[in-house]
Amino acid sequence: MSPIVTVTEPAAGIALVTMQDRVHKNAFTDALIDDLTGTFASLGARADLKAVVLTGYDNYFSSGGTQDGLRDLFDGKFTFVDRDLYSLALNCPIPVVAAMQGHSIGGGFVMGLFADLVVLSRESVYTANFMKYGFTPGMGSTLILPEKLGTALAHEMMLSAATYRGEELQRRGVPFPVLPRAQVVPHALALARDLAGRPRASLAALKRHLIAPLKQRLPEVIEQEVALHGLTFRQPGVKERIETRFGS
């Protein structure tokens, strides 16, 4: 079997991390979570790297939580804090560029938004679809979506659980490059090459400074989201929605 997370180094100082679990469409399986966590820990410890690009395969970036994972959340077997993907890019000591070339669903969309720089695809679908199942958003969604997209659009996405093509988000004024899918990774790598021309210590220091307000607010928001899950997962119809609407 091919690795579901691969790392290449297309240029000095740059690591390209590719999620390619084609069986599960880069959903948050235990294997993907473990591989991504280990990969970011390893890359963050390397003194020779200056930037990381995170991407998916073909037309998928990440499809977020698995159906089994949602069932386990419903049953209280774990909370999303126990499987912390949302802060991998945030906690990486060097800048991370999310090349979200493919569909980015629920937690997969949120994970990408925690990167320092984001590039979207015109053709792909982006959604914070938690409320489709009747439970409130998690993984820091209620902090990072307004922070990156603006309050009005973020609230609309979370409340409606609607799907948006990248070209529609571009019309709505998202502050990221939105390019044809084939151009997303090359553009992200160009951004990374530009970063790689700077001293690593300066990049790391500036990133720490820039994300400090976000990191300061995040623990309280996570605590609030976990409490909301304790309430909203108990609402009538949630389990049925997980069983009948998953993947639709």
User: Which are the catalytic amino acids?
Assistant: 229
Q: What are the percentages of helix, strand and coil residues in the chain, rounded to 5?
A: 50, 20, 30
In angstroms, the CA 49 to CA 22 distance is 28
Angle 21-11-120 from CA coordinates, rounded to 5° = 50
- Give which of 4, 7, 8 is closest to 23, Cα–Cα: 4
How many CB atoms are located within 10 Å of the residue 228 CB?
15
- Would strands 51-55 and 14-19 be described as parallel, antiparallel, or unpaired? parallel
H or E element: which one contains 207? helix 200-232
Angle between helices 151-160 and 141-149 (to 10 degrees): 140
In three-state secondary structure terms, 103 is: strand
In angstroms, the CA 39 to CA 20 distance is 14
19-22: long-range contacts (C-beta < 8 A, 24 or more apart)? 19/54, 19/55, 19/56, 19/57, 19/61, 19/62, 20/56, 20/57, 22/57
